[in-house]
């Protein structure tokens, strides 16, 4: 039994190392798709949830490309710490590069985006003359049943309704800054979600996995309906899945102590790093290849097909109408 167990562990380790080698060998090509320094010079980008994980990696690359990046984060102290680290990393990279200072990195700004989306947007509209890219990145994953301050189920409230309200309140600024872009971060797990209009707030029943998937399906339906409404405005909106990424998004998932070493090995071998996972967000925010493209779903910097339930225009319109009432845009 001991020999068989040891052999299984060694086989798993060998397979993991082989897969990791393959993934890291191809990561450089994917990393280069973001563009050259200066590509985003003069553009202002707002990223929600930018102090860690995908948001942090996206912010770092867009600043490298010359953008003025606003980090919209709930915890200002953590955001300031992350911004300080990013500034140091960018300075070191510039000093160690083959041509120090070429292109010129952009700027990092921290703004507190707590549960008061309206106050945040009011401040943005008062202080920012333009907004070229909005990246709806912040999210929460499979948390226990909780509610936002407005009384919404946490995953649906944060992942969908918060970004729905934020985007609508900033649409005027995005339109006046056109051509501009909106990028929405969803997940492949949308496939397991369903829009139950009779229990959107999970008052009758709650399944944390299903509710996460539902919020990610809502992201896609929102993107497609918004794209329809933005036709002719020169503002585009696209949605993406980043793949499975090693971030703190899974902090609410309990991994048994004895299983953690194997889980860490598997995640190291199979999961993307935040930098790898951020590449599609960066691509949609900056690449000339997607200029004018709107209402599409992307993964690994390529357009992908959606399941029929994510293409249902009547559901998308109904979800939009109900979301407007829920967040108070319509009485």
- Please indicate whether residue 75 or residue 293 has the higher confidence score (pLDDT): 293
Residue 27 lies in a domain: no
- pTM of the complete model: 0.84
Residue 1 lies in a domain: no
Percent of the chain clearing pLDDT 90 (strictly above): 64
Mean pLDDT throughout 86-112?
73
Give the confidence band of 12 by pLDDT, cuts at 50, 70, 90. Answer: very low
Query: Total structural domains in the chain?
Result: 1
Residue 306 lies in a domain: yes
3-state secondary structure of 134: strand
pLDDT at 59: 96
Q: How far apart are CA 239 and CA 298, in angstroms?
A: 6
pLDDT averaged over every residue in the chain: 84
How far does CA 146 lie from the centroid of its chain?
22
Give percent helix, percent strand, percent coil of the chain, each to the nearest 5. Answer: 50, 15, 35
pLDDT at 10: 43
Alpha helices in the chain (DSSP H): 2-31, 53-64, 76-96, 117-127, 154-156, 163-176, 208-229, 260-270, 274-277, 279-286, 313-326
pLDDT at 235: 98
Give the confidence band of 22 by pLDDT, cuts at 50, 70, 90. Answer: very low
Q: Is 212 a catalytic residue?
A: yes
User: What's the domain range around 206?
Assistant: 39-327
Give the confidence band of 261 by pLDDT, cuts at 50, 70, 90. Answer: low
Give the residue from 253, 282, 304 showing the smallest Cα distance to 142.
253
Which of 190, 212, 283, 297 is catalytic? The answer is 212
Here the CATH number for the domain that contains residue 181 is 3.40.50.720
pLDDT score of 229 more than 90 = yes
pLDDT at 174: 98
pLDDT at 243: 87
Give the confidence band of 71 by pLDDT, cuts at 50, 70, 90. Answer: very high
Residue 107 lies in a domain: yes
């Amino acid at each position: 039994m001991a020999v068989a167990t040891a052999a299984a562990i060694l086989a798993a380790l060998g397979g993991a190392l082989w897969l990791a080698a393959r993934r890291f060998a191809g990561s450089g090509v994917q990393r280069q798709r973001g563009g050259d320094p200066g590509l985003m010079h003069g553009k202002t980008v707002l990223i929600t949830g930018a102090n860690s994980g995908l948001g942090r990696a996206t912010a770092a690359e867009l600043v490298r490309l010359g953008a003025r990046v606003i980090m919209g984060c709930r915890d200002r102290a953590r955001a300031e710490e992350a911004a300080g680290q990013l500034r140091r990393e960018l300075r070191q990279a510039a000093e160690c590069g083959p041509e120090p200072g070429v292109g010129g990195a952009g700027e990092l700004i921290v703004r507190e985006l707590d549960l008061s989306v309206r106050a945040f947007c009011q401040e943005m509209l008062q202080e920012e003359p333009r907004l070229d890219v909005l990246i709806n990145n912040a999210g929460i994953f499979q948390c226990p049943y909780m509610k936002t301050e407005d009384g919404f189920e946490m995953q649906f409230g944060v992942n969908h309704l918060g970004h729905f309200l934020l985007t609508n309140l900033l649409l005027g600024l995005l339109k006046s800054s056109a051509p501009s872009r909106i990028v929405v971060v969803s997940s492949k797990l949308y496939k397991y979600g369903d829009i139950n209009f009779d229990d959107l707030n999970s008052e009758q029943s709650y399944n944390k996995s299903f509710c996460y998937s539902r919020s990610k399906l809502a992201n896609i339906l929102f993107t497609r309906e918004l794209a329809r409404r933005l036709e002719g405005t020169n503002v585009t909106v696209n949605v993406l899945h980043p793949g499975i990424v090693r971030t703190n998004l899974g902090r609410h998932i309990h991994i048994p102590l004895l299983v953690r070493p194997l889980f860490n090995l598997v995640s190291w071998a199979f999961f993307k790093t935040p930098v790898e996972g951020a590449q599609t967000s960066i691509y949609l925010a900056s690449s000339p290849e997607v200029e004018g493209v709107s209402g599409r779903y992307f993964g690994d910097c390529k357009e992908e097909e959606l399941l029929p339930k994510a293409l249902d225009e009547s559901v998308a319109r109904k979800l939009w109408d109900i979301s407007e009432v829920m967040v108070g845009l319509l009485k």
